[in-house]
């Protein structure tokens, strides 16, 4: 199932070129009072929501996909984890351009581990990316994103895939500079998630997905998730050695070679096998 969020917090099922408005299915979610849970309750109750979606779908309205504003498929992730340099050709590229990367921690993922991006940086495709420091280089990084479905700690390899709710495409936007990754990659709008969540029962082999990213029609990144240095299973195992994974947590799996700059006015399009296309506009921002 392809589940999207659109317009003013509506829930939809994507079916070809249309969206079926199943917002009514959100009724199954528990009422929350303060203090609010620190995880996403829709993903926590995904099975119950999906069951209700099946009930309400026959009587639900259909909208053309290109007339809705797509939001982040996960509204309230507790954390956004991300893998740095996780494709060997991107590692070589980063080393060759070390001045651009300010010689900043261009090491293998096995030594660096993971980093966190602020949840406040999360947007959906319709919101676009807003460049905050236009005098610096701001790069696109297309990445397969894993959405955690179940609470987990110290996962065994054979348990890892069972705690995945589904997959999205992501942009791990980056301002280049000497500062920590978590600062440069947590700027408002620098984590794009979309265009919808493809549940793990529909996308069963995330370990071999072709994907590409283009800017203004020019293909910049073209890779396959089979070339990840640390694959999805081992990323989940590794993350769970440090953090309790919670429903709705997001894991950016790393970007391949072809990373390059974008400026205001550019249009980024990603296309992931098994997920689909996502269009993201780059807006202008404030002066650096
Ligand atoms: Mn990245």
3-state secondary structure the chain: CEEEEECCCEEEEEECCEEEECHHHHHHCCCCCCCCCCCCHHHHCHHHHHHHHHHHHHHCCEEEHHHCCECCCCCCCCCEEECCCCEHHHHHHHHHCCCCCCCCCCCCHHHHCCEEECHHHEECCCCCEECCCCCCCEEECEEEEEEECCCECCCCHHHHHHHEEEEEEEEECEECCCCCHHHHCCCCCCEEEEEEEEECCCCCCHHHCEEEEEECCEEEEEEEHHHECCCHHHHHHHHHCCCCECCCCEEECCCCCCCEECCCCCEEEEEECCCEEEEEEEECCCCC
Q: What is the mean pLDDT of residues 159-173?
A: 98
Give 25 Cα–ligand 1 centroid separation in angstroms.
34
Give 283 Cα–ligand 1 centroid separation in angstroms.
20
Give 42 Cα–ligand 1 centroid separation in angstroms.
26
Give 177 Cα–ligand 1 centroid separation in angstroms.
15
d(CA 287, CA 24): 43
Give 52 Cα–ligand 1 centroid separation in angstroms.
35
Give 30 Cα–ligand 1 centroid separation in angstroms.
34
Give 23 Cα–ligand 1 centroid separation in angstroms.
32
Give 172 Cα–ligand 1 centroid separation in angstroms.
5
User: Lowest mean pLDDT: which of 63-77, 99-113, 118-132?
Assistant: 99-113
Confidence band of 174 (pLDDT split at 50, 70, 90)? very high
> Residue 60 is encoded by which pair of tokens?
């639900």
Kindly give the pairing relationship between strand 18-21 and strand 62-64.
antiparallel
Give 171 Cα–ligand 1 centroid separation in angstroms.
8
Give 174 Cα–ligand 1 centroid separation in angstroms.
8
Give 28 Cα–ligand 1 centroid separation in angstroms.
35
Give 107 Cα–ligand 1 centroid separation in angstroms.
13
pLDDT at 75 over 90: yes
Confidence band of 96 (pLDDT split at 50, 70, 90)? confident
d(CA 253, CA 142): 10
pLDDT in tens, 110-128: 778 999 999 999 999 999 9
pLDDT at 91 over 90: no
Give 255 Cα–ligand 1 centroid separation in angstroms.
5
Give 286 Cα–ligand 1 centroid separation in angstroms.
23
**Do 153 and 159 meet the contact criterion of CB atoms below 8 Å apart?**
no
> Residue 117 is encoded by which pair of tokens?
């991006």
pLDDT at 287: 47
**Do 169 and 142 meet the contact criterion of CB atoms below 8 Å apart?**
yes
Give 142 Cα–ligand 1 centroid separation in angstroms.
8
CB atoms within 10 A of CB 153: 11
Q: What is the mean pLDDT of residues 152-167?
A: 98
Give 210 Cα–ligand 1 centroid separation in angstroms.
17
pLDDT in tens, 207-259: 999 999 999 999 999 999 999 999 999 999 999 999 999 999 999 999 999 99
Could you tell me the end-to-end alpha-carbon distance of the chain, in angstroms, rounded to an integer? 42
**Do 124 and 192 meet the contact criterion of CB atoms below 8 Å apart?**
yes
Give 34 Cα–ligand 1 centroid separation in angstroms.
34
CB atoms within 10 A of CB 221: 22
Give 183 Cα–ligand 1 centroid separation in angstroms.
13
d(CA 272, CA 138): 22
For residue 42, how far is the Cα from the chain centroid? 17
Give 143 Cα–ligand 1 centroid separation in angstroms.
7
Question: Is the pTM here over 0.85, yes or no?
Answer: yes
């Amino acid at each position: 199932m392809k589940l999207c969020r659109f317009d003013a917090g509506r829930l939809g099922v994507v079916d070809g070129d249309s969206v079926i408005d199943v917002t009514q299915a959100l009724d199954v979610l528990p009422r929350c009072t303060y203090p609010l849970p620190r995880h996403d309750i829709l993903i926590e109750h995904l099975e119950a929501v999906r069951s209700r979606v099946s009930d309400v779908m026959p009587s639900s309205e259909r909208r053309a996909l290109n007339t809705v504003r797509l939001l982040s498929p996960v509204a309230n992730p507790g954390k956004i984890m991300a893998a740095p340099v996780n494709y060997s050709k991107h590692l070589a590229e980063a080393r060759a351009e070390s001045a651009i990367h300010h010689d900043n921690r261009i090491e293998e993922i096995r030594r660096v581990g993971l980093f966190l991006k602020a949840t406040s940086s999360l947007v959906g495709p319709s919101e676009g990316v807003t460049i905050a420091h236009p005098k610096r280089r701001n790069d696109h990084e297309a990445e397969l994103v894993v959405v955690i479905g179940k609470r987990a700690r110290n996962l065994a390899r054979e348990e890892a895939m069972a705690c995945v709710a589904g997959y999205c495409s992501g942009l791990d936007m980056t301002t280049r500079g000497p500062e920590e990754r978590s600062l440069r990659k947590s700027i408002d709008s620098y984590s794009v998630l979309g265009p919808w969540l493809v549940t793990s029962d529909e996308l069963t082999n995330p370990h071999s997905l072709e994907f590409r990213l283009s800017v203004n029609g020019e293909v910049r990144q073209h890779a396959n998730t089979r070339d990840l240095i640390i694959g999805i299973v081992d990323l989940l195992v590794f993350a769970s050695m440090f953090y309790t994974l919670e429903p709705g947590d997001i894991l950016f799996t790393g970007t391949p070679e072809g990373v390059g700059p974008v400026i205001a006015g550019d249009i980024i399009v990603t296309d992931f096998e098994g997920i689909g296309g996502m269009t993201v506009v780059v807006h202008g921002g404030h002066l650096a």
